[in-house]
C-alpha cells in the first residue's frame, strides 16, 4: 500500500519526489536493513540493486538496468532512524535523498523515501524507479519477517 501524494513535484526549483509505504515488519528490523550502508543489494533491495561496494564512505551502486552511481553518505542518524545520501557521480547536476523509518503502530512501519534532484526533467523517470524500488523494500522485508 503506497501512501502520500503527489508522487513528485516539479517547479521553478528542482524536482522533489516522495514515496511512502507501509511495511508489515518491526521498525527496528527495517532500520537495521536500511542503515547497513554497504549491503542494500542483499538486505534492502535485492534485484533492484544488483551490486554495491564501499570505497571509503562512498557506496558504488549498480542497478538492475545497468546504471552505476557513486553515493556519498551524508548522515546516518540512529535516533531518528534516518539515512541521507547524495549521488555525486551519476546523471544529475544535483541529487540528495533520504530514507526514514517510523513506527506505524499495529501497521508495523512507515518507510519514507525522498529525493530532490536536478535536472528537473528526470523527475518522471526517477519517480517510476523509486516506486519500483520501494516496492522491493516492502517485499524483501516482509518476506524476511515471515522466516
Residue 1 is predicted with a pLDDT of 43
- Specify the pLDDT at position 9: 52
pLDDT the model gives residue 5: 43
C-beta of residue 96 within 8 angstroms of C-beta of residue 118: no
pTM, to two decimals: 0.89
Question: What confidence score (pLDDT) does residue 4 get?
Answer: 46
List, for the chain, all residue ranges whose pLDDT scores fall below the cut of 70: 1-12, 146-147
Distance CA 3, CA 7 (A): 9
| pLDDT, position 11 | 56
| Three-state SS annotation for 81-123 | CEEEEEEEECCCCEEEEEEEEEECHHHCEEEEEEEEEECHHHH
- For residue 145, the model assigns a pLDDT of 76
Residues 131, 12: Cα–Cα separation, whole Å: 24
Angstrom distance (rounded) from CA 130 to CA 128: 5
Amino acid at each position: 500500500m503506497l501512501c502520500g501524494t503527489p508522487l513528485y513535484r516539479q517547479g521553478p526549483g528542482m524536482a522533489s519526489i516522495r514515496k511512502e509505504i507501509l511495511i508489515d515488519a518491526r521498525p527496528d528490523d527495517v532500520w537495521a536493513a536500511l542503515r547497513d550502508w554497504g549491503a542494500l543489494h542483499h538486505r534492502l533491495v535485492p534485484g533492484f540493486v544488483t551490486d554495491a561496494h564501499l570505497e571509503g564512505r562512498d557506496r558504488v551502486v549498480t542497478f538492475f538496468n545497468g546504471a552505476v552511481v557513486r553515493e556519498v553518505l551524508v548522515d546516518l542518524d540512529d535516533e531518528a532512524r534516518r539515512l541521507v545520501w547524495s549521488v555525486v557521480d551519476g546523471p544529475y547536476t544535483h541529487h540528495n535523498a533520504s530514507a526514514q523509518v517510523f513506527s506505524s503502530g499495529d501497521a508495523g512501519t512507515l518507510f519514507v523515501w525522498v529525493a530532490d534532484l536536478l535536472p528537473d526533467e528526470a523527475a518522471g523517470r526517477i519517480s517510476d524507479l523509486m516506486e519500483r524500488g520501494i516496492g522491493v523494500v516492502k517485499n524483501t522485508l516482509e518476506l524476511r519477517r515471515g522466516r
